Amino acid sequence: MRRTTCAKKPAPSVKLELHPRNRHRGAYDFPQLILAEPALAPFVAANRHGTPSIDFANPAAVKTLNRALLRYFYGVANWDIPAQYLCPPIPGRADYLHYLADLLAVNNGGVIPQGDSIRVLDIGVGANLVYPLIGQHEYGWQFVGADIDRIAMANAARIVAANVDVGNAIALRWQKTPAQVFAGVIEPEDRFDLTLCNPPFHASLAEAQAGTARKLRGLAVSAGKSAGKVATRQVQSPRAQSENPALNFGGQAAELYCAGGEAAFINRMIAESTQFATQVLWFTSLVSKSDSLPGVYRALKQADVRASKTTAMAQGQKQSRFVAWSFLDQEQQIEWRRLQWCRVQK
């Protein structure tokens, strides 16, 4: 009988680009996921390689897979989102949180702080509430989710109400002024160990539609299908887009684009963060485009931050990263953790 050792190379199906603590490094176990979420079964079929999969160009299939992943791995009993709202890839969202945990460990003796002493602000929490759900399960952190979209906030509130285990750990705040990021959300008495954000990627509706078209063409090619019809269907009016979920696969306007795209949004976030320099340990944001980084670094220099860090991430072929910045030096960061611990003990 062959014996295995710890030195054995991982199977090819292991997604080595994901964080070591990410629960999604292995191939999807569809039989187990179907047991957790029976509604997934009709969407699962053998792909061109003969292995079970779903059609990732089908919004209903992707949403049902997300529901199964959240139930099976994170104990989320009830989860749903309105049609045409962002349905994020769970593995990538989990990766961001695990790397944020590593960031907090740096000035905490290498130990990841867990439990409700850690407070996290999710800017643009969305209708899906994915970051708070995963972060609360994995690390026991407290979350505040903020968004400008009332429909998204109402759906997030329904998810919280439907999952009693997270009810006290997740709070929601409506951002009444879309031009603001932190102002109007962070209250005078607040202290947050982290802020996180997945900023709008595109600079316009047309750019967002073109991005959706490219995504669906890529999914079609990956699945061995003809991409021609998919590509031509994408360039339609906003009304036609809203009436067909496949044409708005990636989310609502506020989730997809803003003037200037992600670079402008992050730069605005950095400038505004100076007003809350003593209330947040680490501000962070995903940066999808590497071309955005030079402008982000210039904004950080102009803001006179004391510390900054860029962490690379990847999911499949997609390369990403997040940028973190703090207005506290190393000694102040260590003191922050000590004071937070003291507050919790009281």
pLDDT digits (tens, 9 = 90+) for 284-333: 999 999 999 999 999 999 999 999 999 999 887 789 999 999 999 999 99
- Edge-to-edge strand order for the sheet containing 307-315? 170-174, 142-147, 119-123, 192-197, 280-287, 318-326, 307-315
- Region of poorest pLDDT, from 124-128, 164-168, 214-218: 214-218
**Residue 177 C-beta-side C-alpha neighbours within 13 Å:** 8
Q: What is the mean pLDDT of the chain?
A: 84
Pairing of strands 142-147, 280-287: unpaired
User: Mean pLDDT: which of 179-193, 194-208, 225-239 is highest?
Assistant: 179-193
Using a pLDDT cut of 70, give the percent of the chain over it: 77
pLDDT score of 183: 97
Between residues 193 and 232, the one the model is more confident about? 193
**How far, rounded to the nearest angstrom, does the alpha carbon of residue 6 sit from its chain's CA centroid?**
32
pLDDT mean over 69-88: 94
Q: Specify the 3-state DSSP secondary structure of 129.
A: coil
- Region of poorest pLDDT, from 8-17, 185-194, 266-275: 8-17
Q: Which residue has the tokens 């000694």?
A: 331
Model confidence at 71: pLDDT above 80: yes
Its pTM stands at 0.84
Residue-wise pLDDT for 95-151, tens only, equals 999 999 999 999 898 999 999 999 999 999 999 999 999 999 999 999 999 999 999
CB under 8 Å to 185, separation ≥6 — which residues? 121, 123, 144, 146, 173, 175
Residue-wise pLDDT for 27-38, tens only, equals 999 999 999 999
Percentages of the chain per state (helix, strand, coil), in multiples of 5: 45, 15, 40
Pairing of strands 52-53, 45-46: antiparallel
Strands (E), 71-191: 119-123, 142-147, 170-174
pLDDT mean over 197-217: 58
pLDDT score of 9: 43
CB under 8 Å to 148, separation ≥6 — which residues? 124, 174, 175, 176, 178, 254
CA distances in angstroms from 70 to 20, 58, 88, 262, 278, listed in the order given:
19, 19, 12, 27, 34
Model confidence at 335: pLDDT above 50: yes
pLDDT score of 67: 97
Encoding tokens for residue 213? 């078209």
pLDDT score of 6: 43
pLDDT score of 243: 42
